[in-house]
Amino acid sequence: MQHSDKIYIAGHRGLVGSALWKNLLSKGYKNLVGRTKTELDLLDTRAVNNFFETEKPDYVILAAAKVGGIVANNTYRGEFIYENLMIQNNVIHAAYLSGAKKLLFLGSTCIYPRDAPQPMTEDCLLTGPLEYTNEPYAIAKIAGIKLCESYNIQYGTNYISVMPTNLYGPNDNFNLETSHVLPALVRKIHLGKCLEEGNWDSIREDLNKRPIEGIDGEENAKRRRGDEAKGRFGDEKVIINILEKYGISVTHPLTSSQSAKSSSQSVESVTVEIWGSGAPMREFLWSEEMADACVFLMENIDFKDLSYSPLRPIAPSKDPHNPSSIREIRNTHINIGTGHEISIRDLAHLIKEKVGFKGNLFFNTSKPDGTMRKLTDVSKLNQLGWQHQIDIEEGVGRLYNWYLDN
C-alpha cells in the first residue's frame, strides 16, 4: 500500500474500525474514507454500490458487523445472520465490481466447532458442529470467508480473511444489554464499587453517558416514576432496580444523604452476578494490537502467500480431458490472537482487583457457559512475522482507565 492510496474502512467508529483508523493514520496513511451508518446503510445494496462507484477505494477493510454477547447472539438470531450476510455480500461484491486492489475481511474465532481441538488451528473450520448460542453469527462469518476465497479463485482478487479472538479496548461496547463479557464485567464491577461506596455522583455520571434501557442518571429515571417532586431519592430507587436487573445488587443501598458514611458500609452488601460457572477459558486481544496485525497483513501478505495446497487425488477417469487430481484451496484465513487464555472466573477477579471493588462476585450456574475453551493457534500469524505484546493484566488496566476517561 502507498500512503496516498484511498482506504475505505467499513465500521470505522466501532471497536475494531476505530483502532484500524488510528493505526493507519499513525503509519502515514492519510487518504482514509469512513461512513457512519446514517451516511451509508451497508444493508442497502444499491447505496453500497453507488458509494463504491463514486469513491473507488484502492483498499477495503471490512470491520462492520452486527456483534454482541451470548445473550444478544442467542436472542436476535435472525438479525445476526441476515444483517451480517447482507453487509458482507454488499461490501465484498461492490469491492470486486469497483476494482479494489485488496480487501481485508474480519471474522471471529466463533467460526470454529464447539468441540474443536485446542488450540484451534485454521484447519479446524467446518470439522464439527458450532456452538448453538452464536451459530447464526458464526455461519455468516464462515460465508464471508468462503466468499473471499471463491472470488479469489474465480476472479483473481486479493482478499484476505482474518479471525480475531475476543477483542477489547478503546471504544468498546459497554451497553449491558448487548456487550461482550469483558467490557460488561468492567462496567458492572465499576458500578458495584460505586454502590458500595455510596458514590451516587459517579453512578449518575455513568448512566448519563451510557443509559440502561433508557434510564439515565437523573431525568429519565424521574419521568419513569412520575415523581419529579420527590427528588433524588426516588431516582436512586429506580437506578437500583435497573442495576439489579443486570446483576448488580445491593442489600442495604446507600442514598445520597448517607454517602458520607460509606466507609462504614459492609463490602458484603454489594454483589455482582456473572453468568455461568466461571470455568470457561477465553483468550483476549487488545484491539489496537489486532489493528496493528491487520495493517501488517495488508502491507506484507497477499492471498497467493496463503493459498498453497497439495493436489488431492480423485477417482480415475478414462477420459484424458478430465484431470485425475484437483488442487483444493481452503482455510486460507488467519487467526489473530495471543495464544494465551484465562478463565472467566480469574478474569472477573482480575477486574475486581483493578477496579478496587470489595464486594462479592456471584457465578450464576443456572445461566449458560457457552463454549468451554476457545484458544487460537496463532502459529501461522507468528510465522508471517507478527506477534502480540500486551497481556491481559496490562490490558484490563488500560481498558478501565479508558472507561473512566470516556
- Rounded CA-CA distance 295/48 in Å is 24
Q: Is 137 annotated as catalytic?
A: yes
Question: From the centroid of its chain, how far is CA 21?
Answer: 16
Residue 267 region by backbone torsions, left for phi larger than 0, else alpha for psi between -120 and 50, else beta: alpha
C-alpha cell at 278: 466461571
Beta strands in 152-230 (DSSP E): 159-164, 166-168
CA distances from 268 to 37, 195, 264, 366 (A): 44, 11, 12, 22
Cβ-Cβ contacts under 8 Å for 62 (sequence gap 6 or more): 10, 11, 87, 88, 91, 92, 103, 104, 105, 106, 144
Question: What angle, rounded to 10 degrees, do the helices at 344-355 and 392-405 form?
Answer: 50
- Of 29, 137, 168, 403, the active-site residue reads 137
Taking alpha carbons only, the member of 328, 333, 334, 292 closest to residue 312 is 328
Q: Which three cell numbers stand for residue 381?
A: 500469524
Q: Which residues are catalytic?
A: 137
